[in-house]
Amino acid sequence: MTADAEGPGKIAVPWWGIIIIGLYLMVITGACMVALAQMWPHPTPTSTVAGTGTNVPAADVPEAFLKARCGTSQDCRQCEENAHAVRDHLGLAGGKNDPECLRVLWLDVVMWNERRLLLIVILAGALGGLISSLRSFFWYVGNRNLVTSWVPMYFLAPITSGLLGAMIYLVVRGGFFSGMSTISDTSPYTFAAVAALVGMFHRETAEKLREVFQIVFTRAQSGKDSSDHPKPKLTRITPDGPLTRAADTRLTLLGEGFTEDSVVRLDGVPLGSKILRVSDKEITVTVRPADLEQHDTEVVVTVFNPTPGGGTSDGIKLAVQPRSEPAKPPDE
């Protein structure tokens, strides 16, 4: 990428924007934590009603639990009665609370435990993404480097992390568990922990999944609108004479697959000077004497494109002007 590239994303986020982003991250993090805690599975009461310490017959647990939990709240009581009615209709009475009434934030909803586990995984993945976003936020704000190009990431990271956590859950649940397995055969701790880690390292997870699927399946060809960087191909460099140590040398690299994110390297070290011009088949760059300080009589020039996709081109050797030897002192 050209070093002098500009754009609206280079504008620093103003103080009021920092406050808005910080408040958003705190509010959404708090909401996810509360929702996750409220949805977390608890031991299903069979003969002892939670919170009362009294023993009742299993068939009477739903009604007793309704009285103990809801009190005078009509919405809560109606939710519990709806869950009880579903269990009765399906012949699931006798203490098996699936589905059951859950309070998620300010809502009382009847929910099956399979759906409950999926939502727990999504919330855990979102929390992992929020942890990553919060660390990034206070790092860039603390170093006074927060620019507007980062703002969409803070708003979208919880969504992408939650979706990625759900995808990993579906892959693991479908690949390692029998289709006849039930919620009792799984552990919310394991799935929530994996989803949270996936959310924290969502970029690394996406890249690793890309590598796995490129090995298993044939890699798709990059089209004009593809987000993948092509692998560059370097065919010729002009002029092909020796690089001088006394003045700047302008080189034109010819080939294909060059992009604005391409990096010119000398013996694997990124060129310190600016890329002057770049197109799909041509890069113009200036090699300065300072770029040759670590190189002797020749240097290998390559072009590197970053991930996703990308790669390093084949190298072309160029001669380098020999170092001038210091003058010898006269014989005494």
Residues 6+ apart with CB under 8 A from 274: 2, 3, 4, 285, 286
Task: Please check whether residue 312 lies inside any domain of the structure.
Answer: yes
**20 and 136, same domain (yes or no):** yes
Q: Which two tokens stand for residue 162?
A: 């939650």
Backbone torsions φ then ψ of 226, nearest 5 degrees: -75, 145
Taking a C-beta distance cutoff of 8 angstroms, is the pair 90, 81 a contact? no
**210 and 239, same domain (yes or no):** no
Tens of each residue's pLDDT in the chain, 332 residues: 334 444 556 788 899 999 999 999 999 999 999 999 988 887 544 434 444 444 444 445 556 666 666 666 677 878 877 887 887 777 765 446 678 788 788 888 888 888 889 999 999 999 999 999 999 898 888 888 888 888 988 999 999 999 999 998 988 888 788 777 777 778 889 999 999 999 998 888 887 777 777 777 665 555 555 557 788 999 999 888 788 888 888 899 999 988 888 889 888 888 877 777 888 889 999 888 888 887 778 889 999 988 877 889 999 988 888 876 444 554 54
Task: Please check whether residue 303 lies inside any domain of the structure.
Answer: yes
pLDDT number for residue 180: 75
Cα separation, 254 vs 314, in Å, equals 12
pLDDT number for residue 220: 56
pLDDT number for residue 123: 95
pLDDT number for residue 49: 44
> Domain range spanning residue 22?
8-36+115-216
Q: Which two tokens stand for residue 152?
A: 């969409």
Taking a C-beta distance cutoff of 8 angstroms, is the pair 300, 317 a contact? yes
**244 and 153, same domain (yes or no):** no
Q: What is the DSSP code string of 187-214? A: -HHHHHHHHHHHHHTHHHHHHHHHHHHH
Number of domains forming the structure of the chain:
2
pTM, full prediction? 0.58
Backbone torsions φ then ψ of 237, nearest 5 degrees: -130, 130
Start-to-end CA span in the chain (Å): 56
Q: Which two tokens stand for residue 71?
A: 């009190």
**13 and 143, same domain (yes or no):** yes
- Of 137, 310, 328, 321, give the one whose Cα is nearest residue 247: 321
| Residue ending a domain, choose from 150, 185, 216 | 216
Residue 249, domain CATH:
2.60.40.10
Cα separation, 230 vs 215, in Å, equals 17
Cα separation, 237 vs 243, in Å, equals 12
Residues β-bridged to residue 140: none
| Residue ending a domain, choose from 216, 249, 269 | 216
Q: Which two tokens stand for residue 80?
A: 């519990």
Q: Residue count of the chain, please give it.
A: 332
The torsion defined by the Cα of 210, 211, 215 and 220, in degrees rounded to 10, comes to 40
Distance of CA 221 to the CA centre of its chain: 24
pLDDT number for residue 172: 87
**208 and 240, same domain (yes or no):** no
pLDDT number for residue 50: 44
Taking a C-beta distance cutoff of 8 angstroms, is the pair 314, 234 a contact? yes
Task: Please check whether residue 65 lies inside any domain of the structure.
Answer: no
- Show contacts of 143-147: CB within 8 Å, 24+ apart: 144/12, 146/12, 146/13, 146/18, 147/9, 147/10, 147/11, 147/12, 147/13
